[in-house]
Amino acid sequence: MPTISSSQVPPPKSWEEFEDICLSAAKHRWDSSKFFGNGRKGQAQDGVDIWGHDGVGEHIGVQCKNTLAGISLKVVENEIANAEGFRPKLDHLYISTTAPRDATLQRDVRLISIARKAAGDFLVDILFWDDVVGDLALEDSVFFKHYPQFKRGVDPSKAHDQTLYEEYLQLMRSDGVIGFIDEWNMAGFSFPSARLDPLREFVANWNAPEREFSSSQIDAVRLELWTKARDYLVEINRSTFPANGPGWIAVPSEWEDKFPDRFKRVVKELHGMAGEIVEIHGRLVRTAKAVLLTTN
C-alpha cells in the first residue's frame, strides 16, 4: 500500500494555503516550533514569507512560490536579491515551490550557494513540492490537517482518484479552456494561442501511467478525452497560422474566398471536434462524481 509521501498529493490552489502548508512543513523539517509567518498580506516582506530558527540556532528564511508550471533560475535570483534586505540577516534561504523537481535548477542553485558561502553571504536551497510533502508526512496529524481526504479508512484507490480528479479540474476548467473551445468561432477569427495551453498540457502529460485513474469507468473516459484532444490539436497545428500579432493564430480568413471548400471543411471539423471534447469532458465529470461520491 502506498505511503503518504509516495502518494500523488495535489498542490494547493491558493498562495495562502501553500504558505500554511510550508509553515507546517518547516516546523517538521527543522523539528522546531520556532517558525513564523512573516507579516501579513500587503506588507513588505523582504523576500521572506516564513522565518525561524533550527535546533542549532541558524536563522532560516523560506520564500513560498506557488508555481505549478515550474520555476526559473531568474526567479530564484530575484528572490535571493529580495531576501538580502531581511533583518536580522539570514543564515540560509530556502525557496519552496509547488513545482516538480528540476535537476538543472538544483545544480544551478547549488553553484550559487557555494559562491555565496565563499563570500560570507547566506546559503540558498530550493525545496520542491515532493520535499514539502515529505516534510508534512513526518507526522500524520499535520498532514491530515491539510489533506483530510487521505485519512486512514478511506479507500486508497478512491483517494488516489479523488486527488487526480481535482488536479484534472484545475487544468481543464469548464470556465477555462473547455468553455473557450466550446464558444470560439474558428471561421477566420484570430485568438491568442495561449488559450489552448491547458489542452496542450493535458495532451502532453495525461497519457502517462501516473495519470491513470484506478476506476476503469473514469479512466476509459480520460483516455477517450485525451485521444480527441490530441486530434484536435493536430488539426489546430495543421490549419491555423500566425495572425494579428505575436502569439495570435487563426484559420486564415482569406481561405474563405480563395479556398472556400477547404475553409468550410476545416472550420466545421474544428467546431465538431471541440463539441466532442466538451461532451466528453462533461461525461468525465459526471462519471467521476458518480464513482467518487459513493460510500467506501
pLDDT digits 0-9 by tens, 49-61: 999 998 888 999 9
CA–CA distance, 173 with 257 (Å, rounded to integer): 36
Query: Can you give the length of the chain in residues?
Result: 296
pLDDT reported for residue 150: 72
Regarding beta strands 59-65 and 50-53, do their DSSP bridges make them parallel or antiparallel, or are they unpaired? antiparallel
Number of Cβ within 10 Å of residue 59's Cβ equals 16
DSSP state of 125: E
Amino acid letter, residue 206: W
CA–CA distance, 74 with 125 (Å, rounded to integer): 14
**Domain range summary for the chain, segments of one domain joined by +:** 15-149, 153-292
* pTM exceeds 0.85: no
The cell for 224 is 477517450
Q: What are phi and psi of 28, to 5 degrees?
A: -90, -30
CA–CA distance, 22 with 238 (Å, rounded to integer): 44
Summarize pLDDT for 69-128 with one digit per residue, the tens. Answer: 789 999 999 999 999 999 999 999 999 999 999 999 999 999 999 999 999 999 999 999
Number of Cβ within 10 Å of residue 228's Cβ equals 18
pLDDT reported for residue 156: 74
Q: Which of the residue ranges 160-164, 212-216, 279-283 would you say has the lowest mean pLDDT?
A: 160-164
CATH code, residues 15-149: 3.40.1350.10
Question: Residue 23: is it exposed, middle or buried by C-beta count within 10 angstroms (0-12/13-18/19+)?
Answer: middle
Number of Cβ within 10 Å of residue 112's Cβ equals 18
pLDDT at 2 over 50: no
Cis amide leading into 88 (omega within 30)? yes
Question: Residue 5: is it exposed, middle or buried by C-beta count within 10 angstroms (0-12/13-18/19+)?
Answer: middle
Q: What does each C-alpha distance from 240 to 56, 210, 225, 233 come to in angstroms? A: 60, 32, 22, 10
pLDDT reported for residue 56: 86
